Amino acid sequence: MKQETRVTLTKYAICFGIEVLIAYLVIWSKGFFTQSTAVNIQILSDAFFVSGILMTLFAGMLYVSGEGALIGIGFVLRNVVLAFVPMGRAKHELYADYRERKLSEAKRRNDRCILVTGLFFLAIGIIFTVIWYVKFYNV
């Protein structure tokens, strides 16, 4: 197997493991084995939905951060810290220079595995919700 394929599969396995851990913690916290079937399906729906939405939102935040949307916040925080450091104002740079430097230092990462596994778990959560709605929801 190629090294690149092995690295990709490892990334997917790690993301899948994290999501399974999150789902297990939700299932454990709600007492899955002590409930009825209808409540168990709700718990499974919650577990898969929570883990899926967390990872999907995390992938979104990584994308937004990689595009440079949070550079302004970093610039402001850096200047606030430098205001309290003795001789910190000597390290001051303009926002345009700071933004250009940060964008040139940023490297493109392939974090598609986080989004794909997040959407997969989200879809499973939606399927469990539909199953609960069709079988157990009393109108």
- Examine the domain organization and report whether 3 and 55 are in the same domain: yes
Both 3 and 21 in one domain: the answer is yes
Domain that holds residue 51: 1-29+36-63+112-134
Question: What is the CA 96 to chain-centroid distance, rounded?
Answer: 29
CB atoms within 10 A of CB 122: 20
User: Are the beta carbons of 74 and 133 closer than 8 angstroms?
Assistant: no
C-alpha distances in angstroms, 115 versus 15, 100, 111?
9, 28, 7
Same domain, 4 and 42: yes
Residues 1 and 22 in one domain: yes
Residue by residue, pLDDT tens for the chain (139 residues) are: 799 899 999 999 999 999 999 999 999 999 888 888 889 999 999 999 999 999 999 999 988 888 888 888 888 888 888 888 887 777 778 888 888 888 888 777 778 999 999 999 999 999 999 999 999 887 5
At residue 44, what are phi and psi to the nearest 5 degrees?
-65, -40
Residue 27 to residue 118: CA distance in whole angstroms: 17
- How many residues does this entry show for the chain? 139
